Protein backbone atom coordinates (compact mmCIF):
# COMPACT_ATOMS: atom_id res chain seq x y z
CA UNK A 1 0.00 0.00 0.00
CA UNK A 2 1.00 3.60 -0.27
CA UNK A 3 3.04 5.71 -2.55
CA UNK A 4 5.64 4.64 -5.04
CA UNK A 5 7.69 6.18 -7.83
CA UNK A 6 7.92 5.46 -11.54
CA UNK A 7 10.76 5.14 -14.02
CA UNK A 8 9.91 5.93 -17.67
CA UNK A 9 12.01 4.74 -20.58
CA UNK A 10 11.64 3.31 -24.08
CA UNK A 11 12.03 -0.48 -24.02
CA UNK A 12 10.56 -3.54 -25.72
CA UNK A 13 7.42 -4.96 -24.11
CA UNK A 14 8.09 -8.48 -22.85
CA UNK A 15 4.62 -9.49 -24.06
CA UNK A 16 4.45 -8.24 -27.66
CA UNK A 17 8.03 -7.15 -28.34
CA UNK A 18 7.07 -3.67 -29.53
CA UNK A 19 9.22 -0.83 -28.22
CA UNK A 20 6.95 1.12 -25.90
CA UNK A 21 7.18 3.90 -23.33
CA UNK A 22 7.78 1.42 -20.52
CA UNK A 23 6.73 2.48 -17.04
CA UNK A 24 8.19 0.71 -13.98
CA UNK A 25 6.80 1.17 -10.48
CA UNK A 26 9.24 1.01 -7.59
CA UNK A 27 9.64 1.93 -3.94
CA UNK A 28 12.99 3.42 -3.06
CA UNK A 29 14.25 6.80 -1.85
CA UNK A 30 11.38 9.25 -1.23
CA UNK A 31 8.15 7.47 -2.20
CA UNK A 32 6.07 10.34 -3.52
CA UNK A 33 4.91 9.51 -7.08
CA UNK A 34 8.09 10.94 -8.53
CA UNK A 35 8.37 10.24 -12.27
CA UNK A 36 11.98 9.62 -13.22
CA UNK A 37 13.95 8.95 -16.38
CA UNK A 38 17.20 7.04 -16.75
CA UNK A 39 20.17 9.04 -15.41
CA UNK A 40 17.95 11.00 -13.03
CA UNK A 41 19.07 11.53 -9.46
CA UNK A 42 16.78 10.06 -6.80
CA UNK A 43 15.06 12.46 -4.43
CA UNK A 44 15.21 11.96 -0.67
CA UNK A 45 13.08 13.52 2.03
CA UNK A 46 15.59 14.85 4.55
CA UNK A 47 12.96 16.45 6.81
CA UNK A 48 10.76 13.36 7.09
CA UNK A 49 12.92 10.23 6.69
CA UNK A 50 9.89 7.97 7.21
CA UNK A 51 8.88 8.76 3.62
CA UNK A 52 12.14 7.23 2.40
CA UNK A 53 12.98 3.63 1.64
CA UNK A 54 16.69 3.06 2.07
CA UNK A 55 19.30 5.65 2.83
CA UNK A 56 20.97 8.14 0.51
CA UNK A 57 24.48 7.67 -0.81
CA UNK A 58 24.82 3.91 -1.40
CA UNK A 59 27.31 3.00 -4.09
CA UNK A 60 25.15 0.31 -5.77
CA UNK A 61 21.55 -0.65 -5.04
CA UNK A 62 19.30 -3.01 -6.98
CA UNK A 63 15.55 -2.37 -6.79
CA UNK A 64 12.72 -4.76 -7.56
CA UNK A 65 10.29 -3.02 -9.93
CA UNK A 66 7.10 -3.98 -11.77
CA UNK A 67 5.88 -2.90 -15.19
CA UNK A 68 2.63 -1.03 -15.86
CA UNK A 69 0.32 -1.83 -18.80
CA UNK A 70 1.79 -2.01 -22.30
CA UNK A 71 -0.14 0.53 -24.45
CA UNK A 72 -0.14 -1.94 -27.36
CA UNK A 73 -1.07 -5.33 -25.88
CA UNK A 74 -2.05 -4.42 -22.26
CA UNK A 75 0.53 -6.86 -20.92
CA UNK A 76 1.65 -5.82 -17.42
CA UNK A 77 3.18 -7.06 -14.20
CA UNK A 78 6.62 -8.05 -15.41
CA UNK A 79 9.35 -8.01 -12.80
CA UNK A 80 12.36 -5.83 -13.51
CA UNK A 81 15.56 -4.86 -11.75
CA UNK A 82 16.64 -1.23 -11.57
CA UNK A 83 20.30 -0.54 -10.89
CA UNK A 84 21.11 2.60 -8.92
CA UNK A 85 24.66 3.86 -8.55
CA UNK A 86 25.30 6.72 -6.11
CA UNK A 87 21.58 7.61 -6.13
CA UNK A 88 21.36 7.83 -9.92
CA UNK A 89 18.98 5.55 -11.87
CA UNK A 90 21.41 3.95 -14.32
CA UNK A 91 19.92 0.85 -15.96
CA UNK A 92 17.16 -1.75 -15.97
CA UNK A 93 16.91 -5.42 -16.91
CA UNK A 94 14.20 -8.08 -16.74
CA UNK A 95 14.38 -9.74 -13.30
CA UNK A 96 16.16 -13.10 -13.68
CA UNK A 97 15.47 -13.90 -9.99
CA UNK A 98 19.16 -13.95 -9.05
CA UNK A 99 18.43 -11.66 -6.10
CA UNK A 100 16.19 -12.92 -3.33
CA UNK A 101 14.00 -9.96 -2.36
CA UNK A 102 11.52 -12.29 -0.68
CA UNK A 103 13.98 -13.58 1.91
CA UNK A 104 15.32 -10.07 2.39
CA UNK A 105 11.72 -8.87 3.01
CA UNK A 106 12.66 -5.76 1.05
CA UNK A 107 12.04 -4.29 -2.40
CA UNK A 108 15.69 -3.28 -2.68
CA UNK A 109 19.11 -4.66 -1.85
CA UNK A 110 22.24 -2.67 -1.13
CA UNK A 111 24.96 -4.46 -3.12
CA UNK A 112 27.69 -2.00 -2.27
CA UNK A 113 27.58 0.50 0.58
ZN1 LIG B 1 3.01 -5.31 -25.32
Give the pLDDT score at 2. 73
Q: Which residues of the chain have pLDDT under 70?
A: 1
Give the pLDDT score at 67. 97
> 13 C-alpha vs ligand 1 centroid, how far in Å?
5
Total count of domains within the chain: 1
The pLDDT tens digits of the residues spanning 85-106 come to 999 999 999 999 999 999 999 9
Q: 106 lies in which domain range?
A: 5-112
> 49 C-alpha vs ligand 1 centroid, how far in Å?
37
- Contact (CB, 8 A) for 29 and 36: no
Neighbours of ion ligand 1 (CB under 5 A): 13, 15-16, 70, 72-73, 75
Nearest to 21 by CA among 5, 38, 42, 4: 38
> 88 C-alpha vs ligand 1 centroid, how far in Å?
27
How many other C-beta atoms lie within 10 A of the C-beta of residue 10? Answer: 9
Amino acid sequence: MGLFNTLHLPAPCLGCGVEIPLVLQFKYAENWQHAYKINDQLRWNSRHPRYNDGKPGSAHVVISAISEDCPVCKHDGDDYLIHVYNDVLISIEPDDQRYNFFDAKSDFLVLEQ
